[in-house]
Amino acid sequence: MPKSYKCAVCGRAHLKQRRPIKTKPLKRFVTKLINREIQCDDVICDKCRAVYRKTVVKSRATQKRATLIEGVISDDEDADFIVNIENTTSEVLRSPKNITLHVQSTASSHKYCVICKEHLTKGRKSCIVPLSARTQSFIEKGIFIDSQARCCVIHLTNKIFSEEALKLIKSKYSKTSFNRTDIVTLLENVRKTLTHSSGVNFEHLHLLSDSVCYSLTGLNKQHFEDVVSHLTTLKNSSVRTIKTCVAILLTKLRTGLPNHLLGVIFSLTKSQIQRCVHSARSCLMQEFVPQHIGFHHISHADFVSQHTTPISKRLFSNNNDDAAIIVLDGTYIYIQKSSDYTFQRMSFSMYKHRPLLKPMVIVGTDGYILSILGPYYAKNNDTSITKHILKTNSEGMKVWLNDNDIFIVDRGFRDVSAYLKEEGFNVEMPHYLQKGNKQHNTEEANTSRLVTKVRWVVESVNSRIKQWKFFDKVVSNHYIPYIGDFLRIVCSLFNCYRPQLANMDPSSEELANKMLERSSQRNDVQRMVEEEGLLKKRSIFKKVEMSTCTSDNSLPVQDFPVLSMDKLREITLGIYQLKEAKNYVIDNFSEDQYEVYVCNPIENLLRVKLKSRHSGSVRHTVFIHYNLDEIIGWYCTCKVGARVVGCCAHVASVLWYLGYHRFQGTDFQRVKFHSSITDASIPPETDSEMESWSDDNPMLNCNSY
């Protein structure tokens, strides 16, 4: 017969549901109930033990709450205990809500969602509003939510409200009744939240603004959350979370800060920062980057249809709608000198006179980054890099490309253009200035302008990359093996979250048609200047001095046509020239006078001399022919000044001033920074300053020799 075990409290016999009486609180509890000492073989049943646990929990919670309110205990662990007990045990006694404050609050009900006010049925998933979400509502909206309120699960993300849910929260009461528990809990959690927000904490992302998140990581909060959601192999550790790990890498690339400063920001050691960088890099390269960059991530047909601008198709595809148009260019990443002399020789650029590496960037005509290859040693030029890419079939490039695909490149690819044509590709490149010539002829200038109208996107992509300061600074030797990975990570973020650079508007084909039509025209103003020898004749031109913002009808240029910004853009066929126009005009004002010359024999012909922005000894001469209604033609003596597909910045500056700005009635806002910089070539004006200056310059004192 099995031995019978009776409960020491209730006397019921439970063969399986028995527990030994070992702990001191349990012994005191049972001893008080049965009025005798506990024996070694006494047991207690589960029901009586449950009564003990409820009684002791209530007693501890009440005692600690009272002590904490009196200010005797301020330990975070005790406060957490009270909060956890009150959230998990509904039977804890609460003080009555007899404290009324002017604090907005929502309704508290188990039948309706406190956010969307929808009826909570069995088929609609709901939960009690978490403490972190209630604290978030109070901090960001100033609205108190009762601990018994419920909401739909879809309004929560990691136990906090989503941005849409926060916008939906509305207060019902302007006054709220609190008990001591509500006040203590609210104050403690606000204190903890503010403690976390004192530093950069990406685990509590809702505490960061979009501007702060973007300044540190280059992404807004929504995009940052999306990147983290792609990473499944990256795990939390004892010192950092997944979000913190990714944020450290992106902040490193975005700001270029050294590891010890990142450690200060994220409250980690230098070695921990370094491990976080490599962990996030490895995970992103495995799970995020392959989906957004590389020849394998998009098909040839999708690339042509989605990332080829209408203007580039019209200019270069020759009615071949299946041809891919890609733009290639190399960029520079500067690195530290290496103690490995072999590597130092190969990475030292004789052109830049410093060590660097060269990645090759391949983009579509809308700025979409198709791939980024390398980096390569500095001794490799664009020609050798391009040949290496095709011969080794990097990323399956030759398989991806089709015959008659178009490569748009700059003049650095001149030695590889013949090889590309042999491989079956078409090459578009600006013309080289022939030896001995000072200016491109009209045909060369027009053709080059067609290329630069499309090729600018790769320069803008390189500029975007350098906005991430890690690549704009000198890269430490430790990170040289990972430069390629870092570049691909940043470029994949561009493709995924940044808007494309070029316009895909089909109406841009009209602009392409205008450019093609003008490309076959000759420059009549240039022919007239050369035939009449106007560059050498001075007596036939009369000087007209125009002050700033003058629209005097008595001037000889009173019949110059008024030009709108749309008309100017139609002439320039771009915006770069108009951006430079204002700076050229300001630079060429002498004592608030702008010198314009009119030609006496030839009606409505202007000549203006402009200083070059690159060299003080170079001056360009601009000729503009016009009538009462429009600009007939233009010519400039700069390298590309003979083109009629648009115009150079010198011509644009004259058109902008004479046809637009002088009628606006506004003065120029000059940047005044010259007063803080001293020019040593200018001697002092007064005698006392001259004596002290000559004392400091013994070359001027003959007696010293």
What would the pLDDT profile of 51-66 be if each residue is shown by its tens digit? Answer: 888 777 666 656 655 5
- For the cut 90, the answer to whether the pLDDT of residue 602 exceeds it is no
Continuous H helices in 298-378: 300-306, 310-316, 341-347
DSSP 505-544: -TTHHHHHHHHHHHHT---HHHHHHHHHTTTT--TTEEEE
- For the cut 50, the answer to whether the pLDDT of residue 78 exceeds it is no
Residues 608-635 have a mean pLDDT of 89
Q: What is the pLDDT of residue 97?
A: 74
CA distance linking residue 22 with residue 16, whole number of Å: 18
DSSP 413-458: GTTTHHHHHHTT-EEE-PPPPPTT-SS--HHHHHHHHHHHHHHHHH
- For the cut 80, the answer to whether the pLDDT of residue 451 exceeds it is yes
Least confident of 254-263, 482-491, 579-588: 579-588
- Bridge partners (DSSP) of residue 185 are none
Least confident of 1-15, 416-430, 563-577: 1-15
Task: Determine phi and psi for 118, rounding to 5 degrees.
Answer: -75, 150
Contact in structure between 545 and 595 (CB atoms under 8 Å):
yes
CA distance linking residue 267 with residue 520, whole number of Å: 65
Q: What is the pLDDT of residue 673?
A: 57
Least confident of 441-450, 478-487, 552-561: 552-561
Task: Determine phi and psi for 609, rounding to 5 degrees.
Answer: -105, 130
- For the cut 70, the answer to whether the pLDDT of residue 553 exceeds it is no
Least confident of 352-366, 402-416, 616-630, 686-700: 686-700
Peptide bond into 375 cis (omega under 30): yes
Continuous H helices in 70-98: 76-88
Q: What is the DSSP letter of 408?
A: E
Amino acid, single-letter form, for residue 60? R
- For the cut 80, the answer to whether the pLDDT of residue 117 exceeds it is yes
**Residue 3 pLDDT grade (very low, low, confident, very high; cuts 50, 70, 90):** low
**pLDDT tens-digit map of 687-699:** 555 555 555 555 5
Give the residue with greater pLDDT, 40 vs 277.
277
Least confident of 174-188, 268-282, 448-462, 626-640: 174-188
Give the residue with greater pLDDT, 519 vs 589.
519
CA distance linking residue 141 with residue 139, whole number of Å: 6
Measured CA to CA in angstroms, residue 54 lies from 62, 79, 386, 458 at distances of: 12, 19, 77, 70
Residues 623-645 have a mean pLDDT of 92
- Nearest-CA neighbor of 241 among 266, 220, 265? 266
Least confident of 75-84, 195-204, 486-495: 75-84
Q: In degrees to the nearest 10, what's the CA dihedral of 287, 291, 297, 302?
A: 170
Tell me which CATH homologous superfamily contains domain 300-511: Ribonuclease H-like superfamily/Ribonuclease H (3.30.420.10)
Least confident of 8-17, 266-275, 467-476, 501-510: 8-17
**Residue 92 pLDDT grade (very low, low, confident, very high; cuts 50, 70, 90):** very low
Most confidently modeled range among 50-54, 261-265, 599-603, 612-616: 261-265
Q: What is the pLDDT of residue 697?
A: 57
Q: How many CB atoms lie within 10 A of CB 61?
A: 19
- For the cut 50, the answer to whether the pLDDT of residue 613 exceeds it is yes
**Helix 270-287 vs helix 242-255: angle between axes, to the nearest 10 degrees?**
100
The ranges assigned to domains in the chain are 1-74+85-93, 94-197, 209-287, 300-511, 522-663
CA distance linking residue 577 with residue 703, whole number of Å: 55
**Residue 505 pLDDT grade (very low, low, confident, very high; cuts 50, 70, 90):** confident
Residues 121-135 have a mean pLDDT of 86
Mean pLDDT across the chain:
85
- For the cut 60, the answer to whether the pLDDT of residue 79 exceeds it is no
Residues 391-406 have a mean pLDDT of 93
Residues 535-542 have a mean pLDDT of 86
CA distance linking residue 492 with residue 242, whole number of Å: 19
Q: What is the pLDDT of residue 304?
A: 94
Residues 250-258 have a mean pLDDT of 95
And the tokens for 337? Answer: 């000198």
Q: Rg of the Cα trace of the chain?
A: 38
- For the cut 90, the answer to whether the pLDDT of residue 98 exceeds it is no
What predicted TM-score, i.e. pTM, was given to this entire model? 0.73
